[in-house]
Amino acid sequence: AAHNDGLQTKDQLDISYFQDSFLFERFLIRQRSKMPPKLLDLIAMTTALCVLPFAAAVDRPNIILVLTDDQDVMLGSLRAMPGLKRRMASGGATFANAFANTPVCCPSRGSLLTGMYSKNAGIVNNYKTCDGKLWQAGAEKLTIGGFMKRLDYTTFYAGKYLNNYGNIAESPQTRVPPGWDWWAGLIGNSVYFNYGMSVNGTVRRYGTHPDAYLTDVLRGRGEEFLRSRRPGSSPFFMVLATSAPHAPFSPHPRHVKEFDGLKAPRGGSYGVHGHDKHWLMRFAPTPMSKKA
């Protein structure tokens, strides 16, 4: 605190910026002329100690991030996923106190990719700013994909990226976002059949055949990538981003009758119209169907 007098208010950044090393480096470059030498030495030493164990590790772990869309644990969705509970959740950790700072689709995705608040990432809605020029010129160059590449990881992304990816003039369907060695990005928003996918910049179209079911296609892309790995290959960082269970709620034919008779939980908010709530809450149909 004794050395902060030289920092100007206009240069102070939101704390979320420090979650990304690239922005931290830019911050230091701008501020180094104002910082006492001893403070700079301390920062350099601390940064080295933080990075060294990971960068110097001989056996770095492979990392797989599976991102589902609009999954709500409060609605009992894990009851339909016994395999996930048995193979992963039972032996893993649950972050019961984790929160999305902007629980809206595209802004939340931008935050996940960068560690930034949505206003800093340049995505503040699901429309024009979603994969718009501000995002592409700034925060998209600083995603976790690029960060992992700097640590000599091979990076892979398959599935839903941002709602407007490939759907607006600023986002060509052949565009491969920076930071990803393998890319299979869903064009547009959540869907399960009749969609396009940008595969390393080449657009592929999928129809209505059961083999085109998006979740299965993503699994196949992931398996293809894993089969390409060889002993001695660099570690990998894989993101599998499904549309499920987001609307339009189109099940694969093999699951059509899987949950016949199952109804949504009848909690205190069921069927209550949020006329005084956020505009998203006001979208809910009123009254709710008794069959829901």
User: Which residues have a catalytic role annotated?
Assistant: 105
The 3-state DSSP class for residue 183 equals strand
CA distances from 53 to 47, 49, 61, 127, 166 (A): 11, 7, 13, 41, 39
Q: Which residues pair with 158 in a beta bridge?
A: 184, 240
Q: Is the dihedral of CA 210, 215, 221, 222 positive or negative?
A: negative
248 upstream amide cis, omega within 30 of 0: yes
**How many residues in the chain?**
292
Give the three-state DSSP class for 29. Answer: helix
The strands making up 195-199's β-sheet, listed across from edge to edge, are 63-67, 236-241, 154-159, 182-186, 195-199, 202-206
Query: What radius of gyration, in Å, describes the C-alpha atoms of the chain?
Result: 22
Beta strands 195-199 and 182-186 are antiparallel
**Closest Cα to residue 162, out of 148, 181, 143, 182?**
143
Please report, in angstroms and rounded to a whole number, the separation of the first and last CA atoms in the chain.
Answer: 57
